[in-house]
Structure 1
């Protein structure tokens, strides 16, 4: 199952539009008292990020609400403990980034995984790239994992943690907007970029 289909099936309380941007009807918000598979999905997602440290129950109680508040605080959202449109959209974005990190750097060190996530965020800040996470990821030929299908592999918890650390400000690359494996790169253009740092098998550049 593709990521988009997976998210659509799991987060039935959101509507995916455009490049993964989401909106939510007021009657479909997840909040204290909610129950069902959507709540289980959110709890499992928060567990991967280290916010939900108990067993998933499918019931949205105070523990889940507190986990959501921590997530919202760390990711720059209104910390109301409710999964509405903005929070659902961020969940989608983080999940998408984790799939890229896993597809591009699962054999790298943890620092190397954070570095890939940081490049995505650096591109959003650059005038040379789109300003939305999903648009950066789905930009044509931007990431090998999209083209070769590795994007569809299920990420481990380290991929999610790497995305979280990048959002919290860790950028091992020093501002890179490109990375490549010198032994595998076939486009000579990438070798014209200014190298910043080597992390594992990846060269990071701008």
Structure 2
């Protein structure tokens, strides 16, 4: 009996070690960070906070009271829900302020030459996630490309925000799915589209035949099909 208990305890300790290792190996944005968390992602969080002037000690990889206070102050100043935890909204705002701070870099590489604000980057990420979260990476880039192609087309609004919120333009905006919290990985698809990868070859419309509510879309000339979506002129 004692031997069995010892084996169970050993397995439990081993499992804890495995889960800890997995957690500590996570990249920033792949999990919710809160008081007591440890790992490389916590260390990255601290460095990002330091760039903004909220964390003034050495990055340790431990989410203690100093990190929690830094997160709270950052949330206050950026009008984010104040909870002392680093979830998607807080981390995305940090990345917007640091990693994606120089929007001119994006615009220089973008074939669209659009002026991309932090707000519009977030809107693009939400649009791609809500419209194409079940699609391949290429399919997600394609949806972002359609939005950008519309910005460049005189038939549509000339801003990302205007295109996304044009009445009845996107189902996810209409039914509320647009406000789901997007996976941070979606931002990679957004940036690839901004830098010129357009799998749709210039499409300004897309649709899933299984979800069509207006048969007018069938009058548009199809360019290509990616996943469940047809992309059209």
TM-score by length of 1: 0.65
Task: Quote the Cα distance in structure 1 between the aligned partners of 2:132 and 2:176.
Answer: 14
Aligned to 1:101: 128
Task: Quote the Cα distance in structure 2 between the aligned partners of 1:132 and 1:100.
Answer: 14
Q: Tell me how many residue pairs correspond in the alignment.
A: 151
User: Any conservation in 2 of the 1:46–1:68 contact (CA below 8 Å)?
Assistant: no
Aligned to 2:201: 174
Q: Which of 91, 101, 108 is matched with 1:68 structurally?
A: 101
- Unaligned 5+ residue runs, structure 2? 1-50, 55-72, 79-85, 110-114
The alignment's C-alpha RMSD in Å is 2.9
- Distance change (3 Å), C-alpha of 1:33 and 1:158: closer
Q: 1:130 aligns to what SS in structure 2?
A: coil
User: Any conservation in 1 of the 2:149–2:203 contact (CA below 8 Å)?
Assistant: yes
Q: 1:183 aligns to what SS in structure 2?
A: helix
Q: Which of 144, 156, 181 is matched with 1:154 structurally?
A: 181
User: Any conservation in 2 of the 1:108–1:201 contact (CA below 8 Å)?
Assistant: yes
Q: 1:75 aligns to what SS in structure 2?
A: helix
Aligned to 1:139: 166
Aligned to 1:82: none
Runs of 4+ with >3 A deviation: 32-36, 38-43, 46-49
Bigger Rg, structure 1 or 2: 2
Task: Quote the Cα distance in structure 2 between the aligned partners of 1:145 and 1:193.
Answer: 21
- Unaligned 5+ residue runs, structure 1? 1-31, 50-59, 78-86
Task: Quote the Cα distance in structure 2 between the aligned partners of 1:118 and 1:47.
Answer: 25
Task: Quote the Cα distance in structure 1 between the aligned partners of 2:106 and 2:176.
Answer: 30
Task: Quote the Cα distance in structure 1 between the aligned partners of 2:91 and 2:183.
Answer: 12
Query: Shift of the alpha carbon at 1:67?
Result: 5.6
Q: 2:117 aligns to what SS in structure 1?
A: helix
> CA offsets per residue over residues 50-80 of structure 1, 9 Å max, x none?
xxxxxxxxxx8xxx4x7624x5412349xxx
- Distance change (3 Å), C-alpha of 1:156 and 1:189: same
TM-score by length of 2: 0.58
1:113 counterpart = 2:140: yes
